[in-house]
Structure 1
């Protein structure tokens, strides 16, 4: 298996639906047109491919100068624990190294916490920061 990475926002709706549904992010796939438009309007999308199959992606929003927000990072279940998400994250962090604020919001789970901490993120519950969110 050889994974290739692409910087492109143009991803087929069916490929997006398959990826997001596989990781049970079905709130995104209720309206695939909106999901596809969200990718297009993102600052950047880096995707991971096994041949012609979309196996993962990271979606970044923000101004790219003072703040980036990692909105989505997901990998097909059968491709997880192979370093793909870490490679997506590292590509992002390298490109936006000079950006002061790198932010994300995610669910609480030990494996999720471990992933982000090993990639240099600090939980707001362990530092001097506080995080707020209003989710509809």
Structure 2
């Protein structure tokens, strides 16, 4: 497997839909136009490619100076547990190493928790931080 990475928001809409649907993120794919606009409005999008196939991406929002929010990180099921997500995360962490606050919000699951902790994130249920979220819909 030879994965190539691209730092571009210009990604084929059909491939984006396939990726999000493959991982079950249907809240995003019920409105393809909004998803496409969200990608374009993001601070950064780094994608992973196996030849011509989109196999993963990481999307970040924020100002890129004081706050960075990892909005999406996803990898096709067939490519999971092969280091693709880790490589995507490493690229973002290197590119934005100067940013003090790096934040993300995700569902609770042991494998998810392990992934983020091995990448240097600490859960807000441990330590002195508190997190709040208001989700609509």
User: Where on the TM-score scale, by shorter chain, does this alignment land: which range?
Assistant: over 0.9
| Residue matched to 2:127 | 127
Normalised by the length of structure 1, the TM-score is 0.99
Paired with 1:127 and 1:95, the residues of 2 have a C-alpha distance of 26
Three-state SS of the structure 2 residue aligned to 1:123 is: coil
Structure 2 residue aligned with 1:59? 59
Gapped runs of 5+ residues in structure 2?
none
Match of 1:81 in 2: 81
Please name the residue that 2:20 is paired with. Answer: 20
Aligned length: 136
Residue 92 (structure 1) shift: 0.3
Q: By how many angstroms is 1:102 displaced?
A: 0.0
Match of 1:47 in 2: 47
Specify every segment of 5 or more residues in structure 1 that has no aligned partner in the other structure, as ranges: none
Partner in structure 2 of residue 35 of structure 1: 35
Root-mean-square deviation over aligned CA pairs = 0.4
Question: Structure 2-normalised TM-score?
Answer: 0.98
